[in-house]
A and B are shown apart, each in its own frame.
Chain A
Amino acid sequence: MALIELDLAHAYGANPRSDDDYALLPLKMSFADGGAYALLGPSGCGKTTLLNIVSGLVKPSQGSVRFDGVDVTGRTPQQRNIAQVFQFPVIYDTMTVAENLAFPLRNRGVAPERIARRVGQVAEMLELSGQLHQRAAGLAADAKQKISLGRGLVREDVSAVLFDEPLTVIDPHLKWQLRRKLKQIHHELKLTLIYVTHDQVEALTFAEQVVVMTRGRAVQVGSASELFDRPQHTFVGHFIGSPGMNFLPAEAADDGLRVAGHRVAAAPAALRGLGPLTLGVRPEYVTLAAAEAEGAVRGTVTRAQDIGTYWLVTAQVGDDAASVVRARLGSHGPVPKAGDAAWLRIVGPRTCFYGADQNLVFEGAAA
């Protein structure tokens, strides 16, 4: 296992000029020894490129990759001692489950008794013990993928185990069990795990730290709570959560904080003089408020949807068509209907403010 440090950029073509020419913009990042990480973002965001650079399948066009301080930029995945699990099962159909699991160890000349012990341990964790002596050929796709996961996890001496969308072939209702397994395994084996996915559930559930990526840039590295409560970039607010964060134009003027053209609250001192801002507030943190209440804006409800366990209320709060606020309201209290006027509290302790570069400048309300 190793501390992995990246200080690099990557362009697939020669002589990159603009940001668009980069698959990965310059980034500095480290993966701690024994940590569980996810690289999350939409297709084309650079997450797979980043994974391939860590594994050694792709050499970055500039900068370096260090494992425990040693420059490994020019080394192959084998030399780096990386284990990988792919989207689809990569196993030997003619071998038994036990032989498949033992293969990476046998290849490296590990003593037979140690192989037997480790294979037993990994099989037990993945609930494959009952099938150890069956041939892999006859197994269902999800059992085969479990073998692939086991092969990735069986070596104790790897620098890191990399997963590329490993639960794609797993039946939706079995997925949570495997997510739980992976978490338990990480707990017990303390391997460094890096997991690539476009699925927020998978990333947020599995990882201690999630790297959110968009357009070749890592915009935030944080825990699930940090990404939810303190998105460092508007993209994170948008991408995490369904629906994502509400965004409204705002400015700290002399008479107070103006949002979508209305004065809604006292302006936090930290925001004065910053010019045009974007206010971000999650639908989960918008609440109904009394008329003219501090921090609230008046809106006209355009839609009220019963989503079973809660109501999703959409309201127009400014003249601009984009000035829309969505609120997730419990079915416990009153819920306004389409056409109703409603006051919605949008400024509170969980409200975030973003500057012109879309980065977080302040969170909270004026004291």
Chain B
Amino acid sequence: MKLTLERVEQRVGAETWLHPLDLALVPNAVTVLLGATQAGKTTLMRVMAGLDPPAKGRVLADGVDVTGRPVRERNVAMVYQQFINYPSMTVADNIGSPLRLRGEKNIAARVKEIAAKLHIEPFLSRLPAELSGGQQQRVALARALAKNAPLMLLDEPLVNLDYKLREELREELSQLFAQGASTVVYATTEPTEALLLGGCTAVLDAGELLQYGPTAEVFHRPASIRVARAFSDPPMNLVAADAGPGGVMLQGGVALAVALPAGATTGLTVGIRAGALRVRPREGDLVLPGKVELAEISGSDTFLHAETAIGELVAQLTGVHQFTLGEPVALHLDPGQAYVFDSVGALLRAPARE
């Protein structure tokens, strides 16, 4: 389905929850709504679903104006953070409920097929309360899939599961989405989840739609500091800078050799992704000596926090590395990997991609 929002705006009382926005979702693909809590993701989804009419603007489904048409008259499937199932119905009846509502045939076979996809076939005759959290959310997802709706909205569906389950279900979901049966909207607060889901990403911040495009493209070329902030985990290192001979002069008096467009002078911000900082040197690197503040270990990565001449930096190192608090460390940066933003935060330069 082709879902288009035109100048959509949302207000609650005197407060603006969504600033006017235009958004044409790529049909039959996944669009990730990425933003912190309170960014407007749920508000936007509710407008898309028809749960709330927008204060202003139009919602078009395949070119037809559906603004203000209630959700029950629209073919939309939704999955929420909480595991919502009918407690008195078996898993099979839960999954089959949208099919029964439409008076479809072969319900049992369809239910079995979807349950198999989500690995809950063995539990079909149980009640939701007899299942673990992860299994309950699988039931809710199965019911949404059974509906076979052209538009599927998922509001942080994995947030209440522990991380191994989240990994597994995300993988399965992204494969189901890739089949292209529906236009899928998936809200998350986690940049890594957006990258793992792929598709397209819409970055929201404080009720504003900041950027929309293919996920990797938005990540590698954030239009502004705000986008870069919302779409970096760990946060992008941001360092105040001015144009200088042969590049920029960073705070703390460190020169960085990056080519700048003409006209860029003062009040610049240099952005350095944590993944661009290394402890292993390469030819042509800028070397930043520092002191270890903490090494956070995520399991696959080590996030090294270090105090340096240009301020506190976070480096993302692959694998597990142990550091002693306070020990000296040198961080290395290929100058070409730096982002530069102008005085109002707009992107001036991004690293070239191979």
Contact A187 B325 (CB under 8 A): yes
Say whether, besides A176-B305, A307-B195, A308-B195, A201 and B296 are in contact (CB < 8 Å).
yes
Contact B216 A331 (CB under 8 A): no
User: Which 8 pairs show the lowest CB-CB distances between chains A and B?
Assistant: A309-B275, A204-B297, A228-B320, A180-B294, A306-B216, A200-B299, A241-B299, A241-B300
With a cutoff of 8 Å between Cβ atoms, the chain B residues found around residue A228 in the complex are 299, 319-320
With a cutoff of 8 Å between Cβ atoms, the chain B residues found around residue A276 in the complex are none
With a cutoff of 8 Å between Cβ atoms, the chain B residues found around residue A179 in the complex are 294, 296
Interface residues of B in 183-213 (CB under 8 A from A): 191-192, 195-196, 198
Say whether, besides A180-B294, A200-B299, A307-B192, A43 and B216 are in contact (CB < 8 Å).
no
A228–B320 CA distance with the chains assembled, in angstroms: 7
A136–B198 CA distance with the chains assembled, in angstroms: 45
A229 interface neighbour in B191, B235, B300, B320, Cβ under 8 Å: B320
- Jot down 15 A-B pairs with beta carbons below 8 A, ordered by A: A43-B162, A183-B294, A183-B325, A184-B325, A224-B322, A225-B320, A225-B322, A229-B320, A241-B299, A242-B163, A242-B167, A284-B300, A308-B216, A309-B273, A331-B354
Size of the chain B interface, CB-CB below 8 angstroms? 35
Contact A243 B167 (CB under 8 A): yes
With a cutoff of 8 Å between Cβ atoms, the chain A residues found around residue B106 in the complex are none
Least CB distance from B218 to A in Å reads: 10
A306 interface neighbour in B195, B235, B295, Cβ under 8 Å: B195
A sample of 16 more A-B contacts (CB under 8 A), given A176-B305, A225-B320, A330-B318, is: A176-B303, A183-B294, A198-B162, A198-B163, A204-B297, A204-B320, A205-B294, A205-B297, A239-B164, A240-B299, A284-B319, A306-B219, A308-B191, A308-B219, A308-B275, A309-B316
Interface presence of A127 (CB below 8 A): no
Interface presence of A328 (CB below 8 A): yes
With a cutoff of 8 Å between Cβ atoms, the chain B residues found around residue A204 in the complex are 297-299, 320
Contact B198 A305 (CB under 8 A): yes
**Which range contains the number of A residues in contact with the other chain?**
35 or more
Interface presence of A12 (CB below 8 A): no
Interface residues of A in 18-56 (CB under 8 A from B): 42-43
Contact A201 B294 (CB under 8 A): no
Say whether, besides A187-B325, A240-B299, A243-B167, A180 and B293 are in contact (CB < 8 Å).
yes
Which chain B residue has the least Cβ–Cβ distance from A42?
Answer: B162
With a cutoff of 8 Å between Cβ atoms, the chain B residues found around residue A200 in the complex are 163, 297-299
Contact mask B152-179 → A, CB, 8 Å, 1/0? 0000000000111001000000000000
Least CB distance from B148 to A in Å reads: 25
Contact B305 A242 (CB under 8 A): no
Contact B298 A242 (CB under 8 A): yes
Interface presence of B7 (CB below 8 A): no
Contact mask B84-116 → A, CB, 8 Å, 1/0? 000000000000000000000000000000000
Spell out A's residues near B (CB within 8 Å): 42-43, 173, 176, 179-180, 183-184, 187, 198-201, 204-205, 223-225, 227-229, 238-244, 283-284, 305-310, 312, 328, 330-332
Interface presence of B126 (CB below 8 A): no
Contact A224 B300 (CB under 8 A): no
Which chain B residue has the least Cβ–Cβ distance from A243?
Answer: B167
Contact A224 B167 (CB under 8 A): no
A199–B164 CA distance with the chains assembled, in angstroms: 10
With a cutoff of 8 Å between Cβ atoms, the chain A residues found around residue B318 in the complex are 284, 310, 328, 330
Interface presence of B220 (CB below 8 A): yes
With a cutoff of 8 Å between Cβ atoms, the chain B residues found around residue A308 in the complex are 191-192, 195, 216, 219-220, 273, 275
With a cutoff of 8 Å between Cβ atoms, the chain B residues found around residue A183 in the complex are 294, 325
Contact B196 A307 (CB under 8 A): yes
A4–B83 CA distance with the chains assembled, in angstroms: 41
A113–B319 CA distance with the chains assembled, in angstroms: 47
Most buried by A among B162, B235, B300: B300
Contact B196 A176 (CB under 8 A): no
Contact A199 B319 (CB under 8 A): no
A247–B10 CA distance with the chains assembled, in angstroms: 49
Which chain A residue has the least Cβ–Cβ distance from B353?
Answer: A331
With a cutoff of 8 Å between Cβ atoms, the chain A residues found around residue B163 in the complex are 198-200, 242
Contact B299 A201 (CB under 8 A): yes
Which chain A residue has the least Cβ–Cβ distance from B214?
Answer: A306
Least CB distance from B149 to A in Å reads: 26
Say whether, besides A284-B319, A309-B316, A176 and B298 are in contact (CB < 8 Å).
no
Which chain A residue has the least Cβ–Cβ distance from B191?
Answer: A308
Least CB distance from B15 to A in Å reads: 22
With a cutoff of 8 Å between Cβ atoms, the chain B residues found around residue A240 in the complex are 299
With a cutoff of 8 Å between Cβ atoms, the chain B residues found around residue A180 in the complex are 293-294, 305, 325
A176 interface neighbour in B164, B220, B294, Cβ under 8 Å: B294
Contact B320 A310 (CB under 8 A): no
A309–B274 CA distance with the chains assembled, in angstroms: 9
B320 interface neighbour in A176, A199, A224, A306, Cβ under 8 Å: A224
A204–B323 CA distance with the chains assembled, in angstroms: 12
With a cutoff of 8 Å between Cβ atoms, the chain B residues found around residue A239 in the complex are 164
